[in-house]
Amino acid sequence: MIRGIRGAITVEQNNEKEILDSTEILLREMIAANQIEAEHVVQVLISVTEDINATFPAKALREINGWDYVPVMCMKEISVPNSLAKCIRVMITVNSSEDQEKIKHVYLKNASTLRPDLSLTNKK
């Protein structure tokens, strides 16, 4: 079975260090919460809002040991008026036998407002 694991985090500044550090924090939290092994990952998609362009957040995945060969791609999020600013969203597509409702989605910093119903802190 293929499952999608969602996550998002915001940054305060559009600079390379903060973007990479925040993306790595998010990815590590998603990986740990769902006990993901790189060899079971189909792909990782990362989107950013239009106000983030200082670096490719996908570079953060390469800092995680064993994730060198996982396909990853960055893209721009749709620019919707009044949407959450400076937001990095991640979708990890993984082969998993886990039931859909047991997947742990991770929303950090201001991104916790995006899907409070799916946020890790609201899971039972």
Catalytic entry in 18, 29, 77, 98? 77
C-alpha–C-alpha distance, residues 97 and 27, integer Å: 20
Catalytic entry in 50, 74, 87, 98? 74
Catalytic entry in 18, 29, 98, 115? 115
> Does residue 37 have an active-site annotation?
no
Catalytic entry in 3, 24, 87, 107? 107
> Does residue 107 have an active-site annotation?
yes
Catalytic entry in 16, 39, 62, 63? 62
> Does residue 3 have an active-site annotation?
no
Please tell me what DSSP assigns to residue 36: -
Catalytic entry in 6, 87, 98, 101? 6
> Does residue 28 have an active-site annotation?
no
Residue 49, SS3? coil
How many CA atoms lie within 13 Å of 95's alpha carbon, on the beta-carbon side? 7
Q: And the tokens for 115?
A: 């899907």
C-alpha–C-alpha distance, residues 22 and 87, integer Å: 10
> Does residue 87 have an active-site annotation?
no
Q: And the tokens for 77?
A: 């999020």
> Does residue 77 have an active-site annotation?
yes
Catalytic entry in 24, 89, 98, 101? 89
> Does residue 89 have an active-site annotation?
yes
**Active-site positions?**
6, 62, 74, 77, 89, 107, 115
